[in-house]
Amino acid sequence: MDKNQRSRIYLLVLVIAIFVVWKYRESQKPKMVLVQGTTMGVIAYNIKYIDEGLRDFKKEIDSLLVDFNQSLSTYIPDSEISIFNKEGKATFNFPYFSEVLIASQEVYKESGGYFDPTVGPLVDAWGFGDGKSVTLDSGQVDSVLKYVGFGKVKFTNEEVFKTIPELKLNFSAIAKGQAIDVVAEYLMTQDIQNFMVEIGGEVRAKGKNDAGETWTIGIEIPDENRVGGVFDAIQLEDHGMATSGNYRNYKIIDGKKVAHTIDPKTGYPKMITLLSATVVAPTCMYADAYATASMAMGLDKAKAMIESNPSLEAYFIYTDQDGNTQTYISAGLKGKTANEQ
């Protein structure tokens, strides 16, 4: 055997060895399953989880989300919340309405009333619900404000009712987070310990991804002219994360930008200084609600709320007096963002 033949043989053996090592490493990697679909009409969901059996839970997840919407979707005429809004009371046939009422009551109190699922009539009155251009005077605002207030909602373990007929509930500021928790908790019942559930941009993550790393979730650049750009990212493990922002849904009133977020205390839209509020909480339902509350109360009050609650962390993007973009990152997120790595 000459030298060239030996070289070719050695090269072939090396290639085979590299291939064997690669195949072995691939076989040792966790097996990731991706489930995708839509819910709540047009909202996309993306679910990733590690499962050695590569089980596909799409059918079960879709079934859960159908029941969830039958409870809390205002677009379904015979949903529990639609019946409540039309008839003034509703009986619970699913667990979701009761759960979201309890959580909403807690966040309503903890936020000093800035999170309020009854604020819908004001959102509509200002034209954010249907896109109409509207400017209200103080008398008109006061007349609508009478129909707002979560304290006007009463509920027991079996039913919910309202104390004034004009009041309406809308859980759009918390429902995506709750739906994510419903899916996450189902996965845990199936002994799935590593997953990421995302619906409409809100996320709950547990364990690690298939690279053995903590899930990293991006925060969108708060720019009305850009879609999909990443401002920063947070390492998320065993928590929910939600972002609320005003940078795309706004109006110009008296020459100034005002947000679609309505202050339930005054009845007026908020001036845009806090561009986006990202909140991390033990569940996505609470993260979703507290992110909305943060936008409604503004930067200073939101910071105080976050810092007084050890179960919450936050990443706020805002503009200072000179119009420059600034960030507030709570203590528990220090060292967990991509820009700090």
β 239-245/313-319 pair status: unpaired
Residue-by-residue pLDDT tens, the chain, 341 positions: 565 666 666 666 565 656 554 454 555 567 899 999 999 877 999 999 999 999 999 999 999 999 999 999 999 999 999 999 999 999 999 999 999 999 999 999 999 999 999 998 888 887 775 555 566 677 888 888 999 999 999 999 999 999 999 999 999 999 999 999 999 999 999 999 999 999 999 999 999 999 999 999 999 988 766 666 899 999 999 999 999 987 555 566 666 656 667 888 888 877 668 889 999 999 999 999 999 999 999 999 999 999 999 999 999 999 888 889 999 999 999 989 988 75
For 79, the 3-state DSSP assignment is coil
CB-CB contact of 293 with 113 (8 Å): no
CA dist 186 and 67 (Å) reads: 13
Beta bridge partners of 240: 204, 281
CA dist 104 and 336 (Å) reads: 28
Question: Which helix (H) or strand (E) covers residue 251, if one does?
Answer: strand 250-253
Angle at 198 between CA 82 and CA 217, to 5 degrees: 140
CA dist 209 and 32 (Å) reads: 8
The tokens describing 202, both together, are 């809100």
